[in-house]
Structure 1
Amino acid sequence: MCAERARGGKPAPLRVVLCWHMHQPQYRDVQARRYALPWTYLHAIKDYVDMVAHLEAAPGARVVVNFAPVLLEQIDDYARQVHDNLDHGAEIRDPLLAALAAETPPAGEAERLQLAEACLKANQKHLIEPYPDYRMLTQMVHWLREHPAGLAYQSEGFFADLVTWYHLAWLGETVRREDGRVRALMEKGRGFDLHDRRTLLTVIGEILASVLPRYRKLAEAGRVELAFSPYAHPIVPLLLDLRAARESLPEAPLPAAKAYPGGEERVRWHLDRGMAVFERYFGRKPLGCWPSEGGLSTATVRLLSEHGIRWTASGETVLANSLREAGALEEGEDRRWLHRPYRVEKSDTACFFRDDGLSDAIGFKYADWHADDAVGEFVHHLETIAARGVEPDTVVSVILDGENAWEYYPANGYHFLTALYARLSDHPLIEMTTFADCVQAIPAPRALSRLVAGSWVYGTFSTWIGDKDKNRGWELLIEAKQHLDTAIRAGRLGGERLQQALEQLAICEGSDWCWWFGDYNPAVAVSDFERLYRHHLAVLYELMGEPVPEVLSRVLTHGGGHPAAGGTMRRGSEGHQ
């Protein structure tokens, strides 16, 4: 429970909610059940396991951890694959993870180069440079890029060491510190044989199988609140009404079709399926929902309320735009308007809003700082907020990506997170708490007549809609949805095939694809994600029994930019660039 106002003249502690959002899109083909990209299992063995280990080691810390349901299913699938491979020799359906378990490396030049290139996808400063053997191997790969004929002369040992070091580097810092098998492999350094690689695969399998139960155990002990996002991470306000993009950007260009067909039905599908998946893994229904990309609108909040969701959250600028429209934005440096929950009319769901400055400081600012200095500054900002006066409904919401920031920190954020949880949980003027407990403690949040629709990024939807490439992505999705609706009405789909098609549609509705469209993102990442998007759409047509449109064989968008954090994260406010 959130503490009530202190007695005896002492000031009430400042309620602070740290909310970590864990999310990856669906990288698995629902037909072949093979993975196109490895990011789900790599983040699981590095970031998800490190975060739960930090929380286990800090009994006084309380946070919110939000999971996208499609991520939960993928983690579970990977755990089963590794178990079945180790116990029964079953195929691992991820090419990079399979290479770790393989007796021999690929024979063909193209396949060898593809494996070598995949093993370069790691942060140079923090995941490659600290390990001399891995650094030397990556230097050899850079040479092979320029001299691909040399691949034929590379020994099996070269590829065995390269793929082993890649996975060792991607392990969480807590795993490296605590697992003797991993320490022994890292001390060996080179000449990894099949037994070594199977040992590492065993470690990976244990992490994948245990990480979600560990979060569940913390939640059952009341130390963590677990929350969810709609199933495949769609941007709900845009599914409900594409014109919602113009509430914050009135001149935003929209796709040719001005509405997503059957959008409300699809949103209900994502919410129902997401809550069912969450309950399967965590044994209870979620009380709260971080909507995909913090995307909220008045209609979205009311749908969440209808589904029994007690709280939701979005970005700072969404609230500022809404208060400004209502003539209720309080000017001044203390920004009391930000640090409290609100309730939209005709809704029972409390809305919290992200403090962009504090959240983006963790995401972008502190990575190169000494951990104690970074935590000291962060706590100082909280103390400043507390000194301005803590009201009965004061809550500071710090919400950010829980996985992508840490590779930019030394030791995967180990020192920063250790110090952060220790300082916050021991601070006499700060109370670490959860959104669900704050809802109980603040039964009557301030009223808002409506929300100006927007996301946590700049308070707009410009990251996902409004330029030609992003709009083209929407148009291809809308065309596929129209074909699916026609097939259903004609009775051409039913039973398991229909369920597969609806799941595949959900994957295509995810937010990640349009996130990457646009020239401001890195070309390699854009290529990976736009190709996977076109593939997912093609699979949807195949499930419908229809010819795949020729347009899906053509590249939709190119990248070429160099954004902070490689484009995996963005700042909440343009003023914090």
Structure 2
Amino acid sequence: MASDHRTPVVLCWHMHQPDYQDQSTGEFLFPWVYLHCIKDYADMAAHLEAHPDARAVVNFAPVLLEQIEEYLVQIECWRHKGTGIGDPVLAALVSESLLEPGSPGFLDLMDKCLRANADRIIKRFPPYRRLSELAGFYRARPDIQRYISAQFLEDLLVWYHLGWMGETVRRSHPVIRSLQEKGHQYSREDRLAVLDVIAELLAGIGPRYRHLEQNGQVELAMSPWAHPIMPLLLDLKSASEAIPDIRLPEHGHYPGGDQRAGWHLEEGKKVFQRFFGKQPTGCWASEGALSQSLLPLLNDHGFRWTASGDSVIHNSMKLARNKGADDGGGSIHRPFRFAEQPLTVFFRDDGLSDLIGFTYADWHARDAVGDLVHHMENIAKDNHNNANAVISVILDGENAWEYYPENGYYFLDELYRVLENHPDLKLTTYRDYLDTPDCQPEGLPHLVAGSWIYGTFSTWIGDPDKNRAWDLLCEAKQHYDKVMDNGSLNAEQKAAAARQLGLCEGSDWFWWFGDYNPAAVVKDFEHLYRRHLVNLYDAIGYPAPPSLFQPLSQGGGEPARGGAMRPGHESGEGA
């Protein structure tokens, strides 16, 4: 049989949400975990199920998996024991009686039910659009708010969830189709039917992706438990490798960061094993944030591959040239190893990935896929002499699709259809590629620390607000260390405190701090970060400092895609 001459292509979808649950109360402060489950994680599985010859890597943050489990537990407890559901939006969906029309709670829930993409979700459905217009009228006329019909909120709750529903679910599920056709005058029975669909979709996430993995279509990978920026835990000064003059926090280092980095990997592997019944081969280190000192840690924990953005490999090749070493030939489309570490590192083609994230949403699906595949074909031609060529497209599997028509339905369907039978390109996974003779990694002397965003850590450190957040975390960690050593906590309390600290170490809080982000989102995330830190102090029995009760950051910017996504290169959006 003739050898396969096609150039390998890896599509790596990263599924991640930070911890939105207040551990002291059990309440989910924001509903994004279950909403992305019913919209994106369900759709992404369905597209792969519809294309059995397609292949992809799907990476999950363990703290996301745990929250999916927690939602399922709370729904089942509500069904069988009558206990409350900890998410206020989901609780309202099943409530026997809704809030008093015109009351502050009523108006707050009304606003929550309009947190959806206006163009692609709200305006797509005429009943939802009319409810949105009515909400705007009620806000402008506080004198008539007491006359709002209770049916208004009942319909709005149902349409909020119908709007967020995945396109593959919308087209196939009889309950969702029936409720959309009904359009208005929803009853509590209708609301309970929506909850049943939500629970069904949440419960299906694990089994569906396990089945795709068992069929060989998907390689499941993981990030560290709470999605921390691992190189910064190991050494805050690693941020200066890509930005020598970056301003660092007052605390020059994160105390005990190496132990904490190892904790996130071990805890993440436990969750992954419980959810998927096996150990992962690869680790998308949170935000593709890598450093030379992180590579042996990943290798020691059993990972065979990791990945980052192409600016990181460009910086690393430049350093090699400056030191008179071989830079590997200049192509990013190949595997690498650094300083003889056995871990294989792949690099995201930022241009291709950003086209999906920032450009193609407004294109016709066939034109967009045709353009993307044309770029891939040119890369394959340019690398036809490189037996170890591999093209990596890596981006999150959730945030981009709300900007596409029908949640990216046509784009994803066309993408898999074209690539699963392409004569010159072959969809594969990193695990499968590692097992081929073509996987001959290029060696470089040093990996310059950085992430997939700009090849730096500037998204998480260096800004005054971000640095202040790090200082608060470092201060809390110092108190944590003292308490953990003084014998005042038992084993169970120590484990709970370690998990609470892990939540505070997540990357998302630092991502959102800064004036360039939207004020409303900054307010949400900085409040949740401070809440997590207060809970940490409670867990170790130490009084929280007054500074924790003062806002850290205000925001006020208008970044593309609301700030939830960033282009890989600072110069622009997309290729």
Cα deviation for residue 329 of structure 1 reads 11
- Residue 431 of structure 2 aligns with an amino acid whose one-letter code is A
- Residue 391 of structure 2 aligns with an amino acid whose one-letter code is V
Cα deviation for residue 240 of structure 1 reads 0.2
The RMSD of aligned alpha carbons is: 1.6
* Residue of structure 1 equivalent to 2:388: 393
* Residue of structure 1 equivalent to 2:252: 258
* Residue of structure 1 equivalent to 2:530: 534
- Greater than 6 Å deviation, 4+ residue runs: none
Q: 2:192 aligns with which of 193, 198, 201?
A: 198
- Residue 473 of structure 1 aligns with an amino acid whose one-letter code is A
Q: Does 1:472 align with 2:465?
A: no
Q: 1:62 aligns with which of 49, 55, 60?
A: 55
Q: Does 1:152 align with 2:171?
A: no
Q: How far, CA to CA, are the matches of 2:119 and 2:264 in structure 1? A: 39
Q: Does 1:269 align with 2:263?
A: yes
* Residue of structure 2 equivalent to 1:547: 543
Q: How far, CA to CA, are the matches of 2:322 and 2:214 in structure 1? A: 40
The answer to whether the 8 A contact 2:340-2:443 is kept is no
CA distance 1:280–1:138, shift in 2 (3 Å): same
Q: Does 1:524 align with 2:520?
A: yes
- Residue 354 of structure 2 aligns with an amino acid whose one-letter code is D
* Residue of structure 2 equivalent to 1:53: 46
* Residue of structure 1 equivalent to 2:274: 280
- Residue 407 of structure 2 aligns with an amino acid whose one-letter code is N
Cα deviation for residue 145 of structure 1 reads 2.3
Q: Does 1:117 align with 2:111?
A: yes
* Residue of structure 1 equivalent to 2:555: 559
Q: Deviations over 1:456-477 (max 9, x none)?
A: 0000000000011000000000
* Residue of structure 2 equivalent to 1:321: 315
* Residue of structure 2 equivalent to 1:572: 568
The answer to whether the 8 A contact 1:538-1:552 is kept is yes
Q: How far, CA to CA, are the matches of 2:341 and 2:472 in structure 1? A: 34
Q: Deviations over 1:181-214 (max 9, x none)?
A: 1011001010000000000110000000111210
Q: Deviations over 1:365-388 (max 9, x none)?
A: 000000000000011111111222
Q: Does 1:508 align with 2:501?
A: no
Q: Does 1:380 align with 2:367?
A: no
* Residue of structure 2 equivalent to 1:80: 73
Q: Does 1:351 align with 2:351?
A: no
Q: How many residues in Structure 1 have an aligned counterpart in Structure 2?
A: 567
Q: How far, CA to CA, are the matches of 2:42 and 2:452 in structure 1? A: 26
Counterpart secondary structure, 2:57: strand
CA distance 1:18–1:329, shift in 2 (3 Å): farther
Q: How far, CA to CA, are the matches of 1:385 and 1:148 in structure 2? A: 59
Q: Does 1:364 align with 2:358?
A: yes
* Residue of structure 2 equivalent to 1:17: 10
- Residue 88 of structure 2 aligns with an amino acid whose one-letter code is P
- Residue 178 of structure 1 aligns with an amino acid whose one-letter code is S
TM-score by length of 2: 0.96
Q: Deviations over 1:293-351 (max 9, x none)?
A: 10000011111011110000001000000000000899xxx986200000112421100
Q: Deviations over 1:423-450 (max 9, x none)?
A: 0001111100001111112453111211
The answer to whether the 8 A contact 1:357-1:576 is kept is no
Q: How far, CA to CA, are the matches of 1:329 and 1:279 in structure 2? A: 43
Cα deviation for residue 84 of structure 1 reads 2.8
- Residue 397 of structure 1 aligns with an amino acid whose one-letter code is S
Q: Does 1:219 align with 2:213?
A: yes
Q: Does 1:491 align with 2:481?
A: no
TM-score by length of 1: 0.96
Q: Does 1:440 align with 2:435?
A: yes
- Residue 444 of structure 1 aligns with an amino acid whose one-letter code is Q
CA distance 1:403–1:297, shift in 2 (3 Å): same
Counterpart secondary structure, 1:298: coil
Q: Deviations over 1:20-72 (max 9, x none)?
A: 00000001122221101110010000000000000000001000000000000
* Residue of structure 1 equivalent to 2:413: 418
Q: Does 1:32 align with 2:25?
A: yes
Q: How far, CA to CA, are the matches of 2:198 and 2:80 in structure 1? A: 14
Aligned residues with identical type, % of pairs: 53
Q: 1:71 aligns with which of 52, 58, 64?
A: 64
Q: How far, CA to CA, are the matches of 2:418 and 2:495 in structure 1? A: 48
Counterparts of 1:168-183 in structure 2, within 5 Å, are 168-183=162-177
Counterparts of 1:97-108 in structure 2, within 5 Å, are 97-107=90-100
* Residue of structure 2 equivalent to 1:402: 397
Moved more, 240-249 or 82-91: 82-91
* Residue of structure 1 equivalent to 2:182: 188
Counterpart secondary structure, 2:321: coil
Q: Does 1:461 align with 2:457?
A: yes
